């Protein structure tokens, strides 16, 4: 009750002050949300404006700057295979993938081992949306592709997903130091804003892993179509056991812990899957 009386008393004094300054010349002053304490009456010529504490709530800033420097994008595709046809689908794809790569560039093709069952994940590179449209049109008119692959592969699938992504400005595709090993696709759901908002902190978190030799980043991407505000990091490790050992060691590295903690301020959720490269995958 005492606190309420104090607030009401302060409000009354401010209201009296508003009335006393009506005849004064107008002074324009920019008011920032951080200038407010609890709630304030701001006097000006015409009225007293009440500002409530909601102005101090955190805002999700939307980036208006460019998210990439060129039109190249990467299409992520995930196919869900009927369990009893998984081996047959992989065999058919291995035999006929050349019919597809004749039309556009395949970056990599993987079978999901952990974090999902009976799935394949592949990445396709395009220079523009116009190029992708022309590729899709050409495939639709390619009788070998339709008859030898599509007509046989599609009945083996239960569903398909795709997403369009761009490399973040500070990343590029980097092949692993050697063939073999395992790949981890880590997906991070970020707060809105894009790389202009979270990019610096996220780059530091990735950099502490790669710079310390803990992991090799094949590429870091952010979503353009699909689930928005997602970041994908494609990691390479020599083996699943090596990844487990590195994960344990890196969690004791103060530099990694500090960088990850800072980037986590922009994180909503995350998930991952461990994948094995197919024999025909360019990156393996």
> Domains in the chain: how many in total?
2
On whether both 193 and 251 belong to a single domain, the answer is: yes
pLDDT value, residue 48: 34
pTM of the model: 0.76
Kindly report the average pLDDT of the chain as a whole number. 83
Distance, in Å, from the CA atom of 124 to the CA atom of 79, rounded to the nearest integer, reads: 14
Q: Which of 56, 82, 102 is the last residue of a domain?
A: 56
Q: Is residue 214 part of a domain?
A: yes
Q: How far is residue 245 from each of residues 188, 214, 235, 248, 271, measured CA to CA in Å?
A: 22, 10, 15, 5, 19
Percent of the chain with pLDDT over 70: 75
pLDDT value, residue 13: 54
CB 235 within 8 A of CB 217: yes
Compute the average pLDDT of residues 203-216: 91
On whether both 114 and 41 belong to a single domain, the answer is: no
On whether both 156 and 223 belong to a single domain, the answer is: yes
Compute the average pLDDT of residues 230-248: 96
Q: Is residue 163 part of a domain?
A: yes
Q: Is residue 64 part of a domain?
A: no
Q: Is residue 65 part of a domain?
A: no
CB 248 within 8 A of CB 255: no
CA atoms in the 13 A half-sphere facing the CB of 138: 12
Residue 31 has pLDDT above 90, yes or no: no
Q: Is residue 283 part of a domain?
A: no
Q: Is residue 63 part of a domain?
A: no
On whether both 94 and 215 belong to a single domain, the answer is: yes
On whether both 24 and 108 belong to a single domain, the answer is: no
pLDDT value, residue 196: 86
CB 78 within 8 A of CB 161: yes
In tens, the pLDDT along 38-77 reads: 322 223 333 333 333 333 444 444 444 445 567 999 999 9
On whether both 118 and 10 belong to a single domain, the answer is: no
pLDDT value, residue 6: 53
Q: Provide the pLDDT confidence category of residue 10 given band limits of 50, 70 and 90.
A: low
On whether both 99 and 210 belong to a single domain, the answer is: yes
Q: Is residue 192 part of a domain?
A: yes
Compute the average pLDDT of residues 1-5: 47
Compute the average pLDDT of residues 184-209: 93
On whether both 113 and 155 belong to a single domain, the answer is: yes
Q: Which domain holds residue 104?
A: 73-277
pLDDT value, residue 213: 86
On whether both 93 and 227 belong to a single domain, the answer is: yes
On whether both 43 and 120 belong to a single domain, the answer is: no
On whether both 90 and 168 belong to a single domain, the answer is: yes
In tens, the pLDDT along 163-181 reads: 999 999 999 999 999 999 9
Residues contacting 156, CB < 8 A, separation 6+: 81, 82, 85, 88, 89, 92
On whether both 225 and 165 belong to a single domain, the answer is: yes
Q: Is residue 67 part of a domain?
A: no
CATH of the domain at 266: 3.30.70.100
């Amino acid at each position: 009750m005492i606190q309420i009386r104090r607030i009401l008393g302060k409000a009354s004094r401010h209201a009296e002050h508003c009335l006393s300054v009506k005849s004064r010349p107008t002074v324009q002053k920019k008011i920032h949300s951080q200038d407010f304490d609890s709630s304030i009456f701001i006097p000006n010529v015409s009225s007293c404006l009440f500002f409530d504490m909601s102005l101090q709530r955190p805002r999700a800033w939307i980036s208006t700057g460019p998210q990439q420097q060129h039109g190249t994008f990467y299409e992520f595709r995930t196919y869900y295979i009927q369990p009893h046809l998984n081996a047959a689908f992989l065999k058919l794809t291995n035999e006929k993938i050349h019919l597809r790569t004749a039309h556009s560039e395949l970056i990599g093709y993987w079978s999901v081992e952990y974090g999902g069952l009976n799935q394949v994940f592949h990445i396709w590179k395009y220079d523009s949306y116009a190029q992708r449209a022309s590729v899709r049109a050409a495939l639709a008119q390619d009788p070998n592709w339709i008859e030898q692959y599509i007509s046989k592969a599609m009945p083996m699938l239960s569903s398909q997903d795709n997403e369009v992504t761009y490399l973040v400005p500070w990343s590029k595709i980097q092949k692993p130091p050697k063939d073999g090993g395992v790949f981890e696709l880590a997906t991070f759901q970020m707060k809105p804003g894009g790389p202009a908002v979270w990019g610096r902190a996220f780059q530091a978190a990735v950099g502490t892993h790669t710079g310390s030799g803990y992991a090799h980043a094949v590429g870091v991407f952010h979503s353009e179509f699909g689930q928005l505000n997602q970041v994908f990091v494609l990691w390479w490790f020599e083996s699943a056991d090596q990844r487990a050992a590195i994960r344990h060691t890196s969690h004791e590295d103060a530099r990694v812990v500090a960088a990850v903690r800072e980037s986590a301020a922009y994180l909503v959720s995350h998930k991952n899957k461990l994948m094995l490269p197919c024999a025909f995958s360019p990156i393996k």
